[in-house]
């Protein structure tokens, strides 16, 4: 396998580990007195404050603005709002179906959406929906169902 592919795969696996660790923490917080919605919003508030501090200290340069243009700001704001929804969903679903099943279900949703994005080339690369990809998606769906608690 080529080095860029191995590096990308390693980065994706590490990101998955971090997402699962975050989901575990959010599930614990979301099931407590804070609740799922406030957990999601509070997490983004604190994360945004930390990111703003890092942006201001590390990336501030006199010749380049730190704040992006309006179009970029709107896109980033939409992504941030989606992030709040993601964190709220994790905080809500984790305590109810378990972190493992919640992560599998979210991964299933990501894979369905990603296959659509790839099929239309919206991510940059046009990758058609093929039978092997559909079989992989079906296997993921079965695995997700098997992870759900039965009581």
Q: What is the mean pLDDT of residues 76-90?
A: 84
* Judgement on whether residues 109 and 132 belong to the same structural domain of the protein: yes
The model's confidence at residue 65, banded by pLDDT at 50, 70 and 90, is low
Q: What is the mean pLDDT of residues 107-117?
A: 92
Q: Enter the pTM of the model.
A: 0.71
Domain holding 119, by residue range, is: 98-151
Locate the DSSP E strands across 46-98: none
pLDDT (0 to 100) of residue 145: 93
* Judgement on whether residues 79 and 143 belong to the same structural domain of the protein: no
Farthest CA pair distance, the chain: 60
Domain total in the chain: 2
Rg (CA), the chain: 18
The model's confidence at residue 64, banded by pLDDT at 50, 70 and 90, is low
Secondary structure class of 121 (helix, strand, coil):
coil
* Judgement on whether residues 71 and 58 belong to the same structural domain of the protein: yes
* Chain segment 90-101, per-residue pLDDT in tens: 889 988 998 889
* Judgement on whether residues 134 and 87 belong to the same structural domain of the protein: no
Buried/exposed 56-87: b ≥16 CB within 10 Å, e otherwise: eeeeeeeeeeeeeeeeeeeeeeeeeeeebebb
Residue 64 per-residue DSSP state: B
Residue with tokens 């991510």: 123
Q: What is the mean pLDDT of residues 61-81?
A: 72
Q: What is the mean pLDDT of residues 106-116?
A: 91
* Judgement on whether residues 43 and 102 belong to the same structural domain of the protein: no
């Amino acid at each position: 396998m080529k080095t860029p592919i191995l590096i990308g795969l390693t980065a994706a696996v590490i990101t998955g580990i971090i997402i699962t660790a975050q989901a575990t923490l959010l599930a614990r917080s979301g099931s407590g007195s804070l609740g799922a919605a406030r957990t999601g919003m509070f997490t983004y508030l604190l994360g945004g404050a930390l990111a703003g501090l890092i942006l201001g200290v590390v990336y501030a340069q006199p010749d380049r603005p730190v704040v992006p243009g309006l179009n970029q700001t709107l896109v980033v704001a939409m992504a941030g709002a989606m992030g709040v929804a993601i964190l709220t969903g994790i905080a809500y679903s984790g305590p109810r179906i378990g972190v493992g099943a919640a992560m599998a279900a979210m991964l299933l949703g990501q894979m369905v959406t990603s296959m659509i994005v790839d099929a239309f080339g919206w991510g940059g690369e046009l990758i058609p929906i093929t039978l092997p990809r559909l079989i992989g998606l079906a296997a993921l769906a079965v695995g997700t169902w098997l992870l759900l608690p039965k009581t």
